[in-house]
């Protein structure tokens, strides 16, 4: 009984110290905060959250129950893409939302206004642009770049070394791949390459994109397709293997980006 009282008292003292250090942050129960963690004012942190050392969290961020931020990567002897090395601290921008049980690894950069939903995983060396949505259970592997205002929907798998441009859409259960040798022979280590999506490209539900494929600007991959070759800009492809069937209608295309100097399109 006495030991239990001491543990409880120590926990209370730790919480009091933490609350003095972060007076404008709301903490739930059983939150672990590492060393040199920066948390902006107005941030709300749920129960059983783990914030590893040296991470930076912006203002007005909501972090739900069971989230882990700043997790270190693990490397299997058979891993082809995980490198154990010193990584930059994790950065979470202002106004982000992180759902329950999401895991964000060290070396990730998450810009302002991003939503990362429940059970999503974001690996190391990944950058996510402003206002992008990472859906429930999405797996974003390492060395991935995702642009601004994208939507990656429930259960999608974004393989390592992929690049997704601004305003792209990835539907539920889409699978990117990066290994043409399917894990056999040493030759595979020379040829890893993820998927590239250019601005405004869209991939519909349950499609599979093979390694090294580029999907052009404003292109559309129809549901259930298996993409084995590059997709030209502004074209709809469909089937297994996917083939071009028609142009994307003009009204479905994005407007060209505004000129930064003049504001003109």
Read off the pLDDT of residues 190-209 as tens digits, 9 standing for 90 and up.
667 899 999 999 999 999 99
Average pLDDT over residues 244-253: 95
Judged by DSSP in three states, 104 sits in strand
**Per-residue model confidence (pLDDT) at position 101:** 98
The stretch 170-198 carries a mean pLDDT of: 83
This prediction has a pTM of: 0.88
Among residues 127, 61, 72, the alpha carbon closest in space to that of 98 is found at 61
192 or 251: which carries more pLDDT confidence?
251
pLDDT range class, residue 128, cuts 50, 70, 90: very high
Question: Residues of the chain with pLDDT > 70: what percent?
Answer: 84
Give the neighbor-by-neighbor strand order of the sheet with 121-122. 32-33, 50-51, 68-71, 103-105, 121-122, 139-140, 157-158, 175-176, 208-209, 226-227
Quick one: pLDDT at residue 148? 98
Token digits for 120?
Answer: 């999503």
Distance of alpha carbon 194 from alpha carbon 206, whole angstroms: 17
Environment class of residue 3 by beta-carbon count within 10 Å: exposed (0-12), middle (13-18) or buried (19+)? exposed
pLDDT value of position 177: 95
pLDDT digits (tens, 9 = 90+) for 212-238: 999 999 999 999 999 999 999 999 999
Q: What is the largest CA-CA distance in the chain?
A: 76
Cross-strand bridge partners of residue 128: 110, 146
Percent of the chain past pLDDT 90, that is, above it, reads 77
**Band of the pLDDT at 19, cuts 50, 70, 90?**
confident
> Average pLDDT of the chain?
90
- Residue range 109-135: average pLDDT? 98
Q: Does residue 21 surpass a pLDDT of 50?
A: yes
Q: For residue range 62-114, what is the model confidence (pLDDT) as tens digits?
A: 999 999 999 999 876 656 555 666 789 999 999 999 999 999 999 999 999 99
Does residue 35 have a pLDDT over 60?
yes
Minimal CA–CA distance to 200: which of 217, 223, 187, 213? Answer: 217
CA 66 to chain centre: 17
In this prediction, residue 39 carries a pLDDT of: 97
Q: What is the pLDDT of residue 136?
A: 98
* Residue 18 pLDDT grade (very low, low, confident, very high; cuts 50, 70, 90): confident
Is a pLDDT exceeding 80 seen at residue 13?
no
Rounded to an integer, the average pLDDT of 133-160 is 97
Lowest mean pLDDT among 19-23, 92-96, 166-170, 194-198: 19-23
Q: Which residue has the tokens 């709300």?
A: 44
Closest to 175 measured CA to CA, from 151, 198, 206, 153: 206
Please give the average per-residue pLDDT across 143-172, as a whole number.
97
């Amino acid at each position: 009984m006495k030991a239990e009282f001491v543990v409880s008292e120590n926990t209370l003292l730790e919480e009091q110290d933490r609350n003095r250090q972060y007076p404008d942050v709301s903490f739930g129960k059983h939150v672990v905060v590492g060393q040199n963690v920066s948390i902006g004012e107005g941030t709300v942190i749920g129960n059983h959250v783990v914030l590893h050392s040296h991470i930076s969290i912006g203002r007005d961020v909501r972090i739900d129950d069971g989230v882990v931020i700043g997790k270190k990567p693990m490397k299997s002897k058979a891993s082809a893409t995980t490198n154990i090395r010193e990584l930059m601290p994790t950065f979470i921008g202002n106004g982000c939302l992180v759902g329950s049980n999401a895991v964000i690894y060290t070396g990730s950069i998450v810009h302002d206004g991003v939503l990362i939903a429940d059970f999503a995983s974001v690996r190391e060396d990944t950058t996510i642009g402003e206002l992008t949505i990472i859906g429930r259970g999405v797996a974003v592997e390492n060395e991935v770049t995702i642009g601004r205002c994208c939507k990656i929907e429930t259960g999608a798998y974004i393989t390592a070394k992929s690049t997704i441009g601004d305003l792209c859409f990835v539907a539920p259960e889409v699978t990117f791949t990066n290994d043409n040798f399917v894990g056999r022979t040493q030759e595979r280590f020379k040829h890893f390459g993820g998927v590239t999506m250019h601005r405004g490209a869209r991939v519909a539900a349950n499609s599979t994109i093979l390694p090294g494929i580029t999907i052009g600007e404003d292109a559309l991959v129809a549901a259930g397709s298996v993409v084995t070759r590059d997709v030209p800009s502004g074209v709809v492809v469909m089937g297994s293997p996917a083939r071009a069937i028609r142009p994307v209608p003009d009204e479905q295309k994005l407007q060209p980006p505004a000129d930064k100097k003049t504001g003109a399109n």
